[in-house]
A and B are shown apart, each in its own frame.
Chain A
Amino acid sequence: MTLNRRTFLSTSAVAAATLAAPMVRAQGKPRVVVIGGGAGGATAARYIAKDSKGDIDTTLIEPTRTYYTCFFSNLYLGGFKTIDEIGHSYGGLAAAGVNVLHDWAVGVDRDAKTVTLAGGGTLNYDKLILSPGIDFVDMAVPGWDISAQNAMPHAYKAGSQTELLKAQLKAMPEGGTFAMVAPPNPYRCPPGPYERVSMVAHYLKLNNPTAKIIVADPKPKFSKMALFQEGWNNHYEGMVDWVGEDFGGGNVSVDHAAMTVTIDDEVTKVDVANVIPAMKAGRIADIAGVTDGNWAPVNAADMSSKMDPDVYVLGDASQQGDMPKSGFSANSQAKVCANAVRGALTGSKVFPAKFSNTCWSLIETNDGVKVGATYEATAEKIAKVDGFISQTGESADVRKATYEESEGWYAGITADMFGAKA
């Protein structure tokens, strides 16, 4: 018998279920499974479903029902955004035709081409896309492991961790000390820790002006350093003490029971300790066997794994070359990957890869700065082509326009990831 759409729709639900016609048809379609519904994964799933117009069966696996963006989470700490303003649901992806499964992926069998879920199911794939973000390297900061994350939050995955850090910030005694342990390279969002310092300083200036911020940094310099240091001097004079590698910033340990941070053998009792340890690809990339060391190497042209042509790794977890680990980068890589995956599965046209990134940071009210670059795929890596950075001493007008632009970007990228808000 043939079932056209009209007769199918007019058949009762029970009859349709017994006929199972849609299942049979669905199984004939190529299948893409995406693990991780963040900047990389949500974008890839949405573009594949939307652009294949239903010709590819696209499933997204993501445990949380609300994705809190790390981007703008520092602005939440500073009081510029509410937590709800940085939360996004997956309704728009479902509307675009993505099957969204709220579960954890716990296993990948690359020979059988299957993914197992914590909830017990198994999914087959033709192409697998991993965008699981980051996890932390064990014992990277002596005295800290993931079990210490309530006493000393990292707030480097947004959501409850960010709320916890904010609560601790609010509870600081007058004139108290906020310590940050900054991560070594490479890590997600190079300007992120320093935008956070700025936002914490903004909050303290208004609410606890005699409080201090100490940053222990294993690096000798950091992203947009001149811009941040200029801003800290202008807006928060005397509040921020940045201890770089040259002054022992890399020789750090913490004691979460005693709430102390030890920098180069000098023990300091602190009120809040924001420990951001060294990072590695989200664990599932390891489980899938596509990592080499801490990250998953990929081919620049399509983001396919160097270990398996049917597996792609996006965003922070990937080791691709020159792009910083940012939401903008992950989103950019996802679109290149979606185009390639669609081409491989349905024969649609594949266009050459093109990548770009811009990271905005807020230093103080209406004082925004940015850094950006364009990239291309070479045989070895994603290579930087051209870039720009905000200048020190820019006028207040320029800085305000830059901040307003970041608001526009936030609206843009979240719509690009999750579909436009209804």
Chain B
Amino acid sequence: MRALAAYLAAAALAALPALADPGDVEKGQKLFQQCKSCHQIGAGATNRSGPHLNGLFGRKAAGLDGFRYSKSFQRAGAGGLEWHAETLDTFLENPRAMTSGTRMSYRGLKNAKDRTHLIAFLRQYSDDPANIPEADPTAQGIDHDLDPAILALVGDPEYGAYLSGECTTCHQAAGGDDGIPSITLWPEDQFVVAMHAYKTKKRNHPVMQMIAGRLGDEEIAALAAYFKDLEN
């Protein structure tokens, strides 16, 4: 009985976000060096080639007035993407998994610990949960990178051609992206990463979560192989 109680207590503790590793702000500041050429943060920060990052936590994607965001970002914002520790963690790991057409050229921070540090640093410039209880918690980075075996799958373009019928009802094979983005000639690895982000619901769009949700790894690979050099 006591063992069970202890177990339950431990389980409850494990589920508490308070236990999450808050990251090292100083290490984060060093990591931020690579962001600085485009993003300002802190007193007097303004938009440069990237938007300023003050008050980032709780901000809607593409949420700053006066900054010209990519279509991809605008779509993500309209679809409900907001910046919190978890979404930032996913985004920083591979920006194109979440917003395929972002103008940010940064390839991503693969090390989960490093992301924790960077997020802890960014966290300093948003409302502080200690003062404002409803402000965002600061959570730790989790490693959710795609299994390299999935990325290494070689897709069958003939199968992809058949499966693509499910895509081309909405995404025009000839490209064109009024309202719905083009997926024609999409680089294979980015296609795979984006579909898995929908499948695992890291990326938010109900139709795409539903469609990708029942695509197997082989099917995603086949589609990627087909769309990457679709000729019209």
Contact = CB atoms under 8 A, between A and B. Distances in A.
Interface of A: 47, 51, 328, 331-332, 335-336, 339, 349, 351, 354, 356, 358, 370, 372-374, 385-388, 397-398, 400-401, 404-409, 411-413, 415-416, 420
Nearest to A339: B162
Contacts of A406: 179
Nearest to A372: B207
Contacts of B10: none
A401 B75 contact: yes
Given A328-B169, A416-B169, A411 B178 contact: yes
Interface stretch (B14-22, B91-99, B109-117, B210-218): B210-218
Contact of A405 (B166, B168, B179, B214): B179
Given A405-B179, A420-B174, A374 B211 contact: yes
B108 interface: no
Given A408-B178, A409-B180, A416-B168, A386 B173 contact: no
Contacts of A415: 168, 172-174, 176
Nearest to A388: B206
A398 B78 contact: yes
B42 interface: no
Contacts of B129: none
Given A332-B166, A408-B178, 7 more contacts: A335-B165, A351-B163, A358-B170, A388-B206, A388-B209, A411-B179, A411-B180
B168 A420 contact: no
B210 A420 contact: no
Given A339-B162, A358-B207, A374-B210, A412 B78 contact: no
The 5 closest A-B pairs by CB, nearest first: A408-B180, A408-B179, A335-B165, A401-B78, A404-B179
Nearest to B232: A420
B79 interface: yes
A339 B163 CA distance: 10
A7 to B, nearest CB: 30
Contact of A386 (B161, B163, B177, B214): B214
A335 to B, nearest CB: 4
A420 B172 CA distance: 8
A351 to B, nearest CB: 5
